[in-house]
Structure 1
Amino acid sequence: MIRRLCLALPLLASPAQAQVLDFPSNANLQTEITEALDSYDLPTGIWDGTAIPTKTVEGALTRQAWRIEAPSLTTLQLLRPLREQLRNARFDILFECQTEACGGFDFRFGTEALRPPEMQINIGDFRFLSAERMSDEGPEYISLFVSRTAQAGFVQVTRVGVANEEEEALATTTAPPLRAVGAVEPLDLATRLEQDGHTILEDLTFETGSAQLAPTPFASLTALAEYLLDNPNRTVALVGHTDSSGSLAGNIALSKQRAGSVLERLVSDYGISRAQLEAEGMGYLAPIATNLTEEGRQANRRVEVIITSTE
C-alpha cells in the first residue's frame, strides 16, 4: 500500500483546501526522497547548447518516482491528466517540452533525475513539465519528468515549497486505472514508427560481448523491411545499445557493430536500400532498465529504429 506522505499541495492560502496529485490505481510509488530544506534548479527552458535555463528554488523538497503499469500508453497520455490536475489547482505552467525539443540526451543528463530501476527515463521518449503557484504561505514549484519503457510508464515528481503541518499527501492513487482506450493488442511496428517516430526491435537478442544476430528470421525485421519497402522515401537510423558490462568506448563500438549487423541483414536478406539505413551506437548511455539484474541487462541489450527522414 502506498503510504501517505508528509507534504501537501495547498490550494490557494488555506491548508483545509489541500490539493493532491491523484495517480491512477495502477500506479505504484517506487521511491521517495524528502528534505526539510533544500534547493532545486528548476528547468525553465530547453538545452541551449551549453546548459539548461533554470530557476533556483528553495524550501521543503520531495522527490518521488512512480511506475504506472500501462505499457501501451504514450508519454502524452501519461502526462496529460497530471498536467490538468496542476492547472485545476491553479498552477501556472512555466515550461513544457518533449524529447528532442527539450534537447534530447543533453537535457536528460543536464537535470536532476532519480536513478533506475525506480525511475526509468528513455532518452528517446520523454516529456518534462515545470509549474509554479503563489499563495499566502509562499511560492510552490512542481516538476514532472515522464517517460516509458516497453514494460511500464514512469513519472518523477519534484515538489519544492512550504512544508505542510497537517501532513497531507503529495500524491494518492485513487483515480481509475490508466489504460490506452481500446488497446487490446500491441501496436504493430509500422504504427509505432508513424506514431512515435521510433521503436525497439524487441525480438532481437544479443549475448554479452557479441554483435552477431542469430541466423533465424526475426518478425521485427520482416515488419521493418515491409515498412521501408512500402515507404521508399523513409530513412531510419538503427541504434544499438548495450548493458553496462565493460568500458564505455568498448560498448559504444559493440553497440554500433550490433546496429551494423542488423543493417546488413536488412540489405542482404530483405533487399532494403542502404540509402534508407544508417547504423549508430550508444553503448550503455541510454538504459531502459536496471543493469543490476540479468533481466535488466538483457533488456538494455537492444537495437532501436528511429525515423530520420523529414518528409
Structure 2
Amino acid sequence: MASWFCLCLCVALPSYVMAQEVELPPGARQLAERVTALGSYAVPLGAASDGGVPARQVEGHILRRSWRIYGDATVLQVLAPLREQLVESGFELLYQCLARSCGGFDFRFDIEVIPTPDMMVDVSNYSFVAAEHSDGRIVTLLVSRSGNAAFVQAIEVQPTGTEAPAVAGNTLAGGDESAETNGDATAQPLIGAAELIDHLRRNGRAVLADLEFETGAAALEAKPYDSLTALTAFLSDNPDYSVLLVGHTDTVGRLSQNVTLSERRAAAVRERLLEESTLDPGRVSVAGAGFMAPLTSNLSPEGREANRRVEVVLIAG
C-alpha cells in the first residue's frame, strides 16, 4: 500500500549531484531509465485548454524513469507519499491535478510521457504533480493505472552549471525482478491479433497492429483485420466495457495536420468496427494524438511505419 512508496532526493556531492531512489513493494519493476546530459524539458504548469498546456521551458541534466507496480493501490495511494516526500525534502508544489481537472486526453498527449509500454496512462485515471526546489531542481510525477498495475513516471531536471545526474542504481528495494534501462526510445514490439485481448486486459491498451496506413492516408484497405474481429468479439462478450480508439502518425507534416489525420484514422477504424458488428456506437469513441506519442524514433522509415498506428484503450463502466 501507500507506505511502500517513498521518493528520496538527496545531495550526493558537495556540488549536489542529484540522485533519486524509489522503494517499491515486492514484485515491482523499473521499466525505463534515460539520462540526458544537457537538454530541455517543458514543465507543465496548468490544465490543457485550446491553447495547449501552459508550461515553463527549463534546461539542465534530465533523468527520466518509469516503474510498473502490480497490485490494487489507487493512483492517489501511490502518488500521495511521493508528493509528501517531495514537500518534506524542501520542494514547493508548482501544479497538481487529477485526470479530469488536468484536461484528460488533451493534457496527457500534450505533455512528455515515456513511450508505451514503459509508461501506460489511462486518460480517465491519472494524476500529475510538478514541484521545484529552492536550488532550482525540478521534479514532475505522473501516476496512472492500467489493467492490474499502477505506472509511475518521474522526470527530474538538474540546473545547468552543476554536476550531471547520478543514478542511485538500477536494483529496486523489495523488487523481485531486475530493472531494465533504456537509452533513447527504441521500437517496441507491436501486439499481434492473437495476443490482443490478453494484452488489453492486462495493460488497458494495445496497438491494433495489423491495420495498414500509408503516410498521409486515413482510409483502411478493404480487407478483413483479425484485430478488429477479436476486439468485436471481446466487446460483445463484455458489455460493461467501452473503448477509445486513438490514432497516431509519424512526424511528416505539421502537428495540426497530423492531429487531424490521426483522428480520421481512428474514425475509419471505428466505422469499420461498427460496420461489421452490432455494437452500440456509444461504446466506441475516437481521438487523435498526431505524432505526440511515438512508439519509437521517427528518424528511420521503419520507425515512422511503426508510429503510424491506431491504439485501443479499454474503459470500464
Which TM bucket (shorter chain)? Answer: 0.5 to 0.7
| CA distance in 2: counterparts of 1:121 and 1:63, whole angstroms | 24
1:139 & 1:271 partners in 2: Cα distance?
59
Q: Does residue 305 of structure 1 match 2:309?
A: no
- Residue 237, structure 1, aligned to residue 224, structure 2: no
Q: Which runs of 5+ in 1 are unaligned?
A: 1-7
May I ask how many residue pairs the two structures share in their alignment?
274
Q: Verify: 1:130 aligned to 2:135, yes or no.
A: no
Paired position in structure 1 for 2:64: 66
Distance 1:247 1:70 in 2: 33
Change (3 A) 1:88 1:203: farther
- Give the AA of the match of 2:275: S
Q: Distance in 1 between matches of 2:18 and 2:35?
A: 22
SS at match of 2:37: strand
Answer with 87-96 or 274-283: which moved more. 87-96
Aligned residue in 1 for 2:299: 292
Report Cα offsets for 1:49-78 as digits up to 9, x if no partner: 768677x899xx63314366979999969x
What CA deviation, in whole Å up to 9, does each residue of 1:140-197 have, x standing for no partner? 543225589xxx9965322359x76xx585433243397889xxx99825525xx74x
SS at match of 1:291: coil
Q: What residue is the counterpart of 1:191 in the other structure? A: 201
Determine the C-alpha separation between the residues in 2 that align with 1:255 and 1:110.
Answer: 15
Deviation (angstroms), 1:129: 2.6
**Counterpart for residue 11 of structure 2:** 10
Residue identity (%): 29
Q: Distance in 2 between matches of 1:284 and 1:57?
A: 20
SS in structure 1 of the partner of residue 234 of structure 2: helix
Whether the 8 Å CA contact 1:199–1:306 is kept in 2: the answer is yes
The structure-2 alpha-carbon separation of the partners of 1:171 and 1:246, relative to structure 1 and needing over 3 Å to count, comes to: same
Cα offset for 1:286?
4.1
Query: Does residue 275 of structure 2 align to residue 277 of structure 1?
Result: no
Residue number in structure 1 paired with 2:89:
90
Distance of 1:91 and 1:304 partners within structure 2: 40
Match of 2:272, SS state, is helix
- The equivalent residue for 1:205 is 212
**CA 1:174/1:308 → structure 2, altered by over 3 Å: closer, same or farther?**
closer
Query: Deviation per CA, 1:248-273, whole angstroms, max 9, x where unpaired?
Result: 56545543443233223322333323
SS at match of 2:11: coil
- Whether the 8 Å contact between 1:128 and 1:145 is mirrored in structure 2 is yes
Aligned letter for 1:22? E
State the TM-score, normalized to the length of structure 2: 0.58
- Structure 2 portions without partners, runs of 5+: 1-8, 23-28, 145-150, 179-194
List aligned pairs for 1:77-116, cutoff 5 A: 83=82, 86-87=85-86, 90-92=89-91, 94=93, 95-97=95-97, 99-104=99-104, 107=107
Task: Report the AA paired with residue 208 of structure 1.
Answer: T
Instruction: Check conservation: 1:63, 1:156, Cα contact below 8 A.
Output: no
SS at 1:236 equivalent: strand
Q: Who is 1:4 aligned against?
A: none
Q: For 2:105 and 2:45, how far apart are their aligned partners in 1?
A: 17
- Preserved contact between residue 126 and residue 146 of structure 1 (Cα < 8 Å): yes
Distance 1:204 1:71 in 2: 31
Q: Distance in 2 between matches of 1:154 and 1:238?
A: 23
2:246, 2:262 within 8 Å by CA — same for their partners in 1?
Answer: yes
Q: CA deviation at 1:280?
A: 4.3
Deviation at 1:291, TM superposition (A): 1.8
Bigger Cα displacement from structure 2, 285-294 vs 86-95: 86-95
Task: Please report the TM-score for the alignment, with normalisation by the length of structure 1.
Answer: 0.59
Quote the Cα distance in structure 2 between the aligned partners of 1:228 and 1:159. 46
Opposite residue 129 of structure 1, the aligned amino acid is V
Once residues 286 and 123 of structure 1 are traced to their aligned partners in structure 2, the CA distance between those partners, rounded to angstroms, is: 14
Check whether the contact 2:197–2:234 (CA below 8 A) recurs between aligned residues: no
Amino acid across the alignment from 1:296: G
Q: Quick one: structure 1 residues 216 and 242, their matched pair in 2 at CA, closer, same or farther if it must change by over 3 Å?
A: same
Q: CA RMSD in A?
A: 5.4
Closer/same/farther in 2, CA of residues 204 and 76 from structure 1, 3 Å limit = farther
Amino acid at match of 1:212: L
Say which SS state the counterpart of residue 312 (structure 2) adopts. Answer: strand
Counterparts of 2:290 and 2:44, CA distance in 1 = 27
Q: 1:155 to 1:299 in 2, by over 3 A?
A: farther
1:33 to 2:34 alignment: no
The structure with the largest alpha-carbon Rg is 1
